[in-house]
C-alpha cells in the first residue's frame, strides 16, 4: 500500500459542527492520524447531534423532506436516534471519517495532564471553538508550546482572535450575514427574509483554508524546526471569494444588491422550470456563440430573431421577456434532456438535482465518488468520498467515523503508556471514559 502524503503526522483536534471537522477530515484523508479529544460530560451541540438524546418527533421519518440543512442535521440511521445517538449522527459520521476518538475531562488537573502528554507526542493541535473556551481551559498557544516547542496550533474562531467581536459565539448563518453574503444570495426586489436557505459557505471555505494553513506550517517546520500559532478567522477566509463586490465599494462606493439566479453581465442566465414536478435546469449563456447554440437547440423559433435579443446588451435589458420564452421550451423537456441538448450545442447547462439525483448521477457513479463504509453502530452505507484523486498516493475512506471514546485504549495505553491500573482509576473517576454521562 502506498504511503499517504501526511503519514506520520499526528493531529489532536477539538473541533465542532462543520468548519473544524471538515478541515481536519481533509488532513485525515491525506493520511494524518487525527485524534479527536472529546468529553463524556459536555455535549457539543450540532457536532454529534443537536442534543444527546433527541425526542423522536425531531427525527425526520420516511417520506419527509428534511427542511434544508437544519433538517438534515437531524438525520439518523433508519430514522431512529437509537441507544447512542451520538454514534449514529449523519453530519458527524460524514466529517469524522478516518479519525480516532478519545475522551478526556479537560476541566480536571489529571485530565489536563493526560492531554499534555498527548500534545507532547503530536505535531498539530487544531480547534475551532470560541476563543474563551481554550483560554478558560488554560490551553493557550503559550501553554502548549511550553509543553512542545515545535507544536503547530491552529485556532479557527468565527471572527478571529482579536478585535471587538473576538468572543462572540459564531455560527454559519451569522457569519454569512456579517460577510454580506446573505443579502447577495437573495432575490431581486425582495428583502432579506427571502434570502435563499441555509448554506453555510464560511464553514466549508474555512475548513479547506485551515487544512491548507496546516500544510504550510508543517512545510515551514520541516525547513526551520519551528512551530507556530495560526489565527484563522472563518469570516476572513470567506470574504475574498466576494472580492470584486468589496472592491466595487472601495473603488466606486457602490453597494451591490441581490440579483438572484441571474448574472449581472450576461444573459440569459437563470434557473428554468422543466417537465415534471419540481424539476429545473440552469442555463448560462456567456457569449453570442452560445446564444446561437441555444437558439439552434430550441429549433430557432421565430422570436429568437427579435432585434431585442440580437445583442447581449439587449438580452440583459429584456431578460424578463426572454426568460419566459426560454421556459416555454424547457417546460416541454426533462431537466436532464435539456442539459444533453444544450451541451451538444456547446451551451453550459445542468439539471438542478436533489440528493437522489446526485447519488444516482452517471458522472459521479462512473468516477466511484461514493464509497461503501461499514460503521459498527450506523451500519453499512454509501458516503461521499474523496475530494480529489492522486495517482501515486490513492486516497480512500480507510476507517469509519469513530464511536465516542472508541480509541481510548490505543491513545492512553499505546501512545501515552498509561498502565492498566491508571486507566481503571481514571475511568472510575470519570477523567477519561468511553460513553456519555449526560
DSSP track, 359-406: HH-HHHHHTT-SEEEEETTTEEEEE---SS--SSS-----SPPPPTTT
pLDDT string in tens for the chain (438-residue length): 569 999 999 999 999 999 999 999 999 999 999 999 999 998 887 899 888 888 877 776 655 555 544 445 568 888 888 889 999 999 999 999 999 999 999 999 999 999 999 999 999 999 999 999 999 999 999 999 999 999 999 999 999 999 998 988 877 777 887 788 877 877 777 776 666 656 678 888 999 999 999 999 999 999 999 999 999 999 999 988 888 888 888 999 988 888 788 998 999 999 999 999 999 999 999 999 999 999 999 999 999 999 999 999 999 999 999 999 999 999 999 999 999 999 999 999 999 999 999 999 999 999 999 999 999 999 999 999 999 999 999 999 999 999 999 999 999 999 999 999 999 999 999 999 887 655
Instruction: Give the largest Cα separation in the chain, rounded.
Output: 86
Q: Cell numbers of 298, please?
A: 430550441
Q: Strands 269-273 and 228-231, how do they pair?
A: unpaired
For residue 433, give the nearest of 40, 152, 112 by alpha carbon.
Answer: 40
Class of domain 269-273+280-351: alpha beta
Q: How far apart are CA 93 and CA 44, in angstroms?
A: 15
Does the predicted model carry a pTM greater than 0.85? yes
Domain boundaries of the chain, sorted by first residue:
10-232+366-428, 269-273+280-351
Whether the CB-CB separation of 37 and 12 falls below 8 Å is answered with: yes
10-232+366-428 classified as CATH 2.60.120.590: no
Q: How far apart are CA 253 and CA 97, in angstroms?
A: 46
Amino acid at each position: 500500500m502506498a504511503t499517504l502524503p501526511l503519514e506520520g503526522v499526528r493531529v489532536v483536534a477539538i473541533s465542532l459542527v462543520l468548519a473544524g471537522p471538515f478541515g481536519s477530515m481533509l488532513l485525515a484523508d491525506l493520511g494524518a492520524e487525527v485524534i479527536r479529544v472529546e468529553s463524556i460530560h459536555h455535549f457539543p451541540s450540532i457536532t454529534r447531534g443537536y442534543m444527546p438524546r433527541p425526542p423522536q418527533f425531531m427525527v425526520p421519518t420516511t417520506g419527509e423532506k428534511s427542511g434544508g440543512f437544519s433538517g438534515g442535521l437531524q438525520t439518523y440511521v433508519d430514522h431512529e436516534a437509537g441507544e447512542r445517538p451520538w454514534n449514529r449522527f449523519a453530519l458527524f459520521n460524514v466529517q469524522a471519517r478516518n479519525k480516532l476518538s478519545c475522551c478526556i475531562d479537560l476541566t480536571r488537573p489529571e485530565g489536563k495532564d493526560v492531554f499534555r502528554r498527548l500534545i507532547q507526542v503530536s505535531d498539530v493541535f487544531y480547534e475551532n471553538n470560541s476563543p474563551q473556551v481554550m483560554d478558560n481551559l488554560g490551553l493557550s498557544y503559550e501553554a502548549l508550546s511550553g509543553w512542545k516547542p515545535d507544536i503547530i496550533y491552529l485556532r479557527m474562531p468565527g471572527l478571529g482572535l482579536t478585535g471587538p467581536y473576538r468572543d462572540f459565539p459564531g455560527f454559519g448563518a451569522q457569519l454569512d450575514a456579517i460577510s454580506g453574503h446573505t443579502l447577495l444570495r437573495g432575490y431581486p426586489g425582495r428583502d432579506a427574509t427571502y434570502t435563499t436557505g441555509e448554506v453555510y459557505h464560511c464553514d466549508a471555505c474555512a475548513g479547506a483554508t485551515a487544512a491548507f494553513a496546516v500544510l504550510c506550517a508543517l512545510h515551514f517546520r520541516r525547513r526551520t524546526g519551528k512551530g507556530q500559532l495560526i489565527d484563522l478567522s472563518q469570516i476572513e477566509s470567506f470574504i475574498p471569494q466576494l472580492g470584486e463586490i468589496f472592491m466595487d465599494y472601495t473603488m466606486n462606493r457602490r453597494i451591490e444588491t441581490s440579483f438572484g439566479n441571474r448574472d449581472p453581465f450576461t444573459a440569459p442566465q437563470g434557473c428554468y422550470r422543466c417537465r415534471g414536478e419540481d424539476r429545473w435546469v440552469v442555463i448560462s449563456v456567456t457569449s453570442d456563440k452560445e446564444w446561437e447554440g441555444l437558439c439552434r437547440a430550441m429549433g430557432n423559433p421565430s422570436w429568437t430573431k427579435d432585434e431585442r435579443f440580437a445583442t447581449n446588451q439587449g438580452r440583459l435589458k429584456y431578460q424578463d421577456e426572454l426568460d419566459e420564452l426560454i421556459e416555454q421550451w424547457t417546460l416541454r423537456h426533462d431537466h436532464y434532456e435539456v442539459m444533453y441538448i444544450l451541451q451538444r450545442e456547446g451551451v453550459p447547462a445542468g439539471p438542478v438535482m436533489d440528493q437522489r439525483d446526485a447519488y444516482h448521477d452517471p458522472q459521479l457513479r462512473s468516477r466511484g465518488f461514493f464509497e461503501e463504509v461499514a460503521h459498527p453502530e450506523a451500519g453499512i452505507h454509501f458516503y461521499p468520498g474523496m475530494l480529489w484523486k492522486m495517482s501515486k498516493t490513492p486516497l480512500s475512506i480507510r476507517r469509519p467515523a469513530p464511536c465516542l471514546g472508541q480509541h481510548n485504549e490505543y491513545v492512553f495505553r499505546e501512545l501515552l503508556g498509561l498502565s492498566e491500573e491508571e486507566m481503571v482509576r481514571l475511568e472510575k473517576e470519570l477523567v477519561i471514559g468511553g460513553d456519555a454521562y449526560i
